[in-house]
Amino acid sequence: MALDGSGGYVPAQNLQDLGENSLPIFNVETVALQFSIASDFVAAQVANNVLVLALANGRILRIDLDNPQDIDDIDLPKRASEVGVIRRMFLDPTASHLVICTALGENYYLHTQSRQPRPLSRLRGVSIESIAWNPSLPTASTREILIGASDGNIYEGYIETATEFYRREDKYLKTLQKLGDGPITGLWVDLVAGKPDVRRILITTQSRILHLIGKIGKVTHEGGASIFTKLFETEQPTVHEISRLSTAAASSLVISPDSPDLNSYESLTPDRIFAWLSSQGVYYGRLLTSPATNDLGNKVFSEAKLLPRSQLPPAENVSGRKKSTQDSIDSIALTQWHILHLVGNRIIAVNRLDDRVIFDQVVLDPGQEALGLYADQQKNTFWLFTAKDIFEITVQDEDRDVWKVMLKTEHFDAALRYARNPAQKDAVATASGDYLITKGAYLEAAGVYGKSSKPFEQVALTFVDNDQQDALRKYLQTKITTYKKSSIMQRIMIASWLVEIFMSKLNSLDDTIITKAELSETLNTTQTKDQLDTVRTEFHEFVKKHKSDLDQKTAYDIISSHGREEELLYFANAVNDYNYVLSYWMQRERWKEVLDVLKKQTDPEIFYRYSSGLITHVATDLVDILMRQSDLKTRNLIPALLTYDRNFEGPLSKNQAVRYLLHVINQLNSEDAAVHNTLISIYASHPSKDESALLSYLESQGDEPRFDADFALRLCIQHSRVQSCVFIYSTMGQYLQAVELALAHSEIDLASIIADRPVSDPALRKKLWLAVAKKVISQSNGIKTAIEFLKRCDLLKIEDLIPFFPDFVVIDDFKEEICTALEDYSRNIDALKKEMDESSQTATNIKIDIAALDHRYAIVEPGEKCYICNLPLLSRQFFVFPCQHAFHSDCLGRKVMEQSGVGKGKRIREVQMQISRGLVSGATRDAAIAELDALVASACILCSDFAIKRIDEPFVTAADNTTEWAL
């Protein structure tokens, strides 16, 4: 990257990933400064994309790399000649707090929102070598921090920005401990997950690294008291010590930066990495977080290892030969996977997983002195500063070879996680499987081999030769998922093989349980049963997942050959082969199981197919199921219902066929004549003589029955269902046949009811009653009884009944009836005579009115006008009506033709033409004139039917003057 001429920040060029090993992981690029710098750099820090540079003249440059134009130029409150050159700076990970240390022991604090450093009076004279920032990373204040001094003292401090002049930035300073082996070269404090009152502290000197963990005092946001005093007083540190080879060797403590990838291996194991630079080399390891006890330090140091300086490659001299002496390590930094070393003028990167050198490059010119390596903890950027230059160490695809290292160290899960393409993943899987086989871990190897490209036959034979059926099963289950859906044959063969293996395993477990033998030295009978349930569940899951990969016939044959009834039925259910399941249970007459399966079905064909066999054994339960199916065609169930009825010997109320048919008719409103005819057939053919059920059904059909009347009539006649036959005849309108049939079976009351039905046909009704009367008289023991019965009909007279009485009947037996009849006749004759007299009087009155018509007249005034044309009425021939309306004859004729029908208008024109043209004469002409007068003057057009027919005509027509009607 570079800073352009305007002071802008230009990022390093983004290099495109060209594939594995196409580009080096690390690259060192120079940052060009295009603005004037008065003196050399003496100290530098970088955090959260903020670069802080200290110059020899006492100035401090603060550059925001996200906004390169934002460069703060800050001066210390005093000149460099007064306080000394800036010796060291400490910037917290959030870039909010900066502590500046000078050569003469003056220390200053600068907040990110301030441009004026404030002196730290409590720290005056303290030569600060290291600072451990608060792990909660506060931004308003530093909160509690640890400070390491060059005299071996460790302090606890609390610094915040003070706006008042009289307030100090450093609220308090507490001496915690003094180590007697030189300066405190490194400090680190972090939290322990789940334990907010526990802290872990790392302390380094030139010869020791100390690990301290324990509870702290009460935390207060005001910073009123020390929180680390309790920890230092009560806990003893775990110490790792080395022999000091050189007192001048650099010593520092660095911690790995935040992980940039949340899905990385490091984020899954959130332990950070620490690295301690000492005279012997770099001592590094994981900052484990459990157990959170004093033993944690021993565990951390036991897993850590030393990368000695001798393992780093020596520098070459001018002639290209290796130097006999090695330069010391001046500074280190940690990336996610590598340790960066500054050795003389070179940067060496070592993979911390296998201590392999992957980058070694000369960066500095001869005589150029470096300030050190620095890492931005949050942004994962890495920097090298000299007195005049800035270098950025860019990282490209750092974890691309991690999978190889993990594979070599037999960390196969991690290797698989970092493998990027199918070839890499396959290599990891194959190697992992081979390793597990050598260890005898066949089950684990099966799962790994299933995802590899190792030849199928080779893997399968390995498991077969070693009699590892469980491992083979697991391998096949994994392998089948790797084939595409288009690989039909491969998937079918593997799936079929798996069915065979499952059945063999289940049989083996069953045999073991039955014989109460031990399956192995580690499993007893109870455990064997548990394993049986596990394998059966596994088989069920396999069938659910891969039922489309199984050939049904092959699967049936395999499972049947092993006699596995439960698995056979489970497979049939899983593939929805309910016909197989139902047939299986039907053959074994397991009716409950059949019904359980049938309850879950919705396919009508299944019900049609199995109803005939079921209804003879479990009719009630079957009908319950059928009644829940609304989309069945009852016509297709009729054979089963009739078969059941032929074998049924109970009452109709218990007949399940009748129950189902009534449900279909009454609840589902079936209009299928076959359904209704079937119900009639069952009713009619029942041995019981009771016809109430059949009659009740027939009466419920109303005037539009849905059964075949002829079919029903034949059945009722065949089975002597008289009442039903009579009812059917009646519904067909065959009243005479109904009455005759009822009388033939001496059903007098029934015949009487039918005889009364043709209310609209009195002649037929009388005829029916005569037939009933004849039957009643012939069967009656007494004439009076017969006559009393026949009084129920108002049409019969005594004279109608006399022919039916036997010849020996004397008149005394019904003289009262005869007298009553004669009295009725007398009354009728008197009434008729009165009506005749009234009619004669009416005729006389009409004659008088007709004679008076000849003398009627109307008075017409001289000025009276025609009601149509408004001209004088006496000017020509006219008509005057009794209502006093008068019209000219021609005006009235036109008006009548306009309002009369086509036929009448045509006749008026014909008669007018005959009269006007003289086509008729004499009596014919008089008749024509009379006819014309009758047609035209039959009624007044203003107050007769003519006026009523004109009710829909508007008052104002198109021919009228509309202004006359305007308001």
359: three-class secondary structure by DSSP: strand
Q: List pLDDT tens digits, range 256-286.
A: 998 876 544 444 445 799 999 998 999 999 9
Residues 758 and 655 in one domain: yes
More confident residue, 350 or 694: 350
Which token pair is 951?
Answer: 């009710």
Residues 630 and 601 in one domain: yes
Residues 509 and 533 in one domain: yes
| Alpha helix positions (H), 84-228 | none
Domain assignment present for residue 650? The answer is yes
More confident residue, 819 or 243: 243
The yes-or-no verdict on residue 20 having pLDDT over 70 is: no
The CA distance from 401 to 889, in Å, is 127
Domain assignment present for residue 830? The answer is no
pLDDT value, residue 210: 96
> Which of 480, 532, 533 shows the shortest CA–CA distance to 511?
532
Residues 612 and 740 in one domain: yes
Residues 466 and 529 in one domain: yes
Confidence class of residue 802 from pLDDT cuts 50, 70 and 90?
A: low
Domain range for residue 266?
Answer: 244-315+325-397
Q: List pLDDT tens digits, range 616-646.
A: 888 888 888 888 888 889 898 889 888 888 8
Q: What is the mean pLDDT of residues 361-384?
A: 92
Which token pair is 309?
Answer: 């300086």
Q: How far is CA 520 from CA 419, 466, 525, in A?
A: 39, 16, 10
Query: Is-contact 737 767, C-beta < 8 A?
Result: no
pLDDT value, residue 263: 47
Q: What is the mean pLDDT of residues 531-549?
A: 87
Domain assignment present for residue 361? The answer is yes
Residues 511 and 640 in one domain: no
Q: Report the sign of the C-alpha dihedral through residues 788, 790, 794, 799, in that order.
A: negative
| 780, 796, 816 - which closes a domain | 816
The yes-or-no verdict on residue 547 having pLDDT over 60 is: yes
Count: domains in the chain: 3
The yes-or-no verdict on residue 878 having pLDDT over 70 is: yes
Q: List pLDDT tens digits, range 850-862.
A: 777 667 777 888 8
Residues 530 and 640 in one domain: no
Q: How far is CA 821 from CA 454, 502, 651, 815, in A?
A: 121, 103, 53, 10
Domain assignment present for residue 357? The answer is yes
Q: What is the mean pLDDT of residues 247-261?
A: 85
Q: What is the mean pLDDT of residues 203-222?
A: 89
pLDDT value, residue 261: 63
Q: What is the mean pLDDT of residues 891-895?
A: 85
The mean pLDDT value of the chain amounts to 82
Strand partners, 872: 865
pLDDT value, residue 102: 95
Domain assignment present for residue 6? The answer is no
Domain assignment present for residue 625? The answer is yes
Confidence class of residue 963 from pLDDT cuts 50, 70 and 90?
A: low
Query: Is-contact 339 284, C-beta < 8 A?
Result: yes
Q: List pLDDT tens digits, range 727-780.
A: 887 777 777 887 777 777 767 777 777 776 776 677 777 777 777 767 766 666
Q: List pLDDT tens digits, range 385-430.
A: 998 889 999 998 887 777 787 777 777 777 777 777 778 777 777 7
Q: List pLDDT tens digits, range 918-961.
A: 777 788 888 888 888 888 888 888 888 777 777 777 767 666 66
Residues 554 and 614 in one domain: no
Confidence class of residue 517 from pLDDT cuts 50, 70 and 90?
A: low
More confident residue, 815 or 390: 390
Of the segments 43-52, 267-276, 444-453, 649-658, which one has the largest average pLDDT value?
43-52
The CA distance from 505 to 564, in Å, is 11
- Read off the CATH number of the domain in which 379 is found: 2.40.128
Domain assignment present for residue 194? The answer is no
Query: Is-contact 321 333, C-beta < 8 A?
Result: no
The CA distance from 446 to 45, in Å, is 53
Q: How far is CA 826 from CA 791, 801, 820, in A?
A: 20, 20, 10
Kindly provide the residue ranges of all beta strands, DSSP E only, lying in 26-151, ordered along the sequence.
26-31, 41-47, 50-55, 59-64, 71-75, 86-91, 97-102, 107-111, 118-119, 128-132, 141-149
pLDDT value, residue 2: 34
Residues 781 and 766 in one domain: yes
| 354, 375, 397 - which closes a domain | 397
Q: List pLDDT tens digits, range 818-830.
A: 666 667 767 778 8
Residues 489 and 612 in one domain: no
Q: What is the mean pLDDT of residues 304-331?
A: 77
pLDDT value, residue 580: 82
| 572, 602, 637 - which closes a domain | 572
Residues 251 and 366 in one domain: yes
Query: Is-contact 879 887, C-beta < 8 A?
Result: yes
Residues 524 and 422 in one domain: yes
pLDDT value, residue 36: 63
Domain assignment present for residue 193? The answer is no
pLDDT value, residue 575: 83
For a pLDDT cut of 90, what percent of the chain falls above it? 23
pLDDT value, residue 257: 93
